[in-house]
């Protein structure tokens, strides 16, 4: 069994004894306070112990210094985190604005192309409507002519009928 003593970055110290397998921890371990993985550190301690090299834990004054510095660092870390978040949000905003500008340019290009296609089509539709009106007027005029022709034809047939009746009456 090898004694393992770990000093976590959160300030917690924990220790245990382990029977290494292949010179390493048989299972992964984590800090009981912050759940930070301590397997790598434990493997290093086991390797030093197996090689006859051991390093003592830092003196208590270092621990107290780290514990005292932690509250002082917290506001700075929070400020740094805020700055990083604001910078990321600014970057995302710039990307969104660039995307919006590209979309607006594409939309205006599509509108221009639609107008270029739509204008000749509208002109053709107007020309077709005008031609339909002209043809309807021609048809109306031809109907009048046809009626007059029919009337004339009927009149001619009546006059021929009258001529034939007179002939029949003379015979």
Do 167 and 98 lie in one domain? The reply is yes
Q: Tell how strand 13-18 and strand 2-7 pair up.
A: antiparallel
Looking at residue 68, its pLDDT comes to 67
Rounded to two decimals, the pTM is: 0.36
Do 98 and 166 lie in one domain? The reply is yes
Q: Look up tokens 């990321």; give the residue.
A: 88
Domain membership of residue 109 as a residue range:
91-171
Is 96 within a domain? yes
Is 137 within a domain? yes
Q: What is the mean pLDDT of residues 146-152?
A: 88
Dist. CA 39–CA 28, nearest whole Å: 5
pLDDT in tens, 13-57: 999 999 998 889 999 999 999 999 999 999 999 988 888 654 555
Averaged confidence pLDDT in the chain: 85
End-to-end CA gap in the chain: 155
Contacts of 13 (CB under 8 A, 6+ apart): 5, 6, 7, 57, 63
Do 50 and 112 lie in one domain? The reply is no
Looking at residue 37, its pLDDT comes to 93
């Amino acid at each position: 069994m090898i004694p393992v003593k770990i000093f976590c970055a959160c300030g917690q110290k924990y220790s245990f004894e382990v029977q290494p397998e292949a010179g390493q921890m048989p299972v992964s371990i984590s800090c009981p306070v912050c759940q930070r993985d301590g397997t790598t550190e434990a493997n290093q301690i086991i390797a030093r112990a197996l090689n006859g090299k051991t390093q003592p834990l830092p003196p208590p004054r270092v621990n107290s210094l780290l514990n005292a510095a932690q509250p002082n660092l917290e506001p700075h870390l929070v400020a740094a985190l805020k700055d990083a978040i604001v910078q990321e949000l600014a970057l995302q905003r710039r990307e969104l604005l660039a995307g919006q500008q590209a979309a607006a340019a594409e939309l205006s290009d599509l509108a221009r192309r639609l107008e270029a296609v739509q204008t000749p089509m509208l002109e053709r539709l107007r020309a077709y409507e005008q031609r339909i009106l002209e043809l309807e007027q021609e048809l109306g005029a031809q109907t009048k002519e046809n009626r007059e022709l029919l009337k004339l034809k009927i009149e001619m047939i009546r006059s021929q009928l009258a001529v034939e009746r007179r002939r029949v009456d003379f015979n």
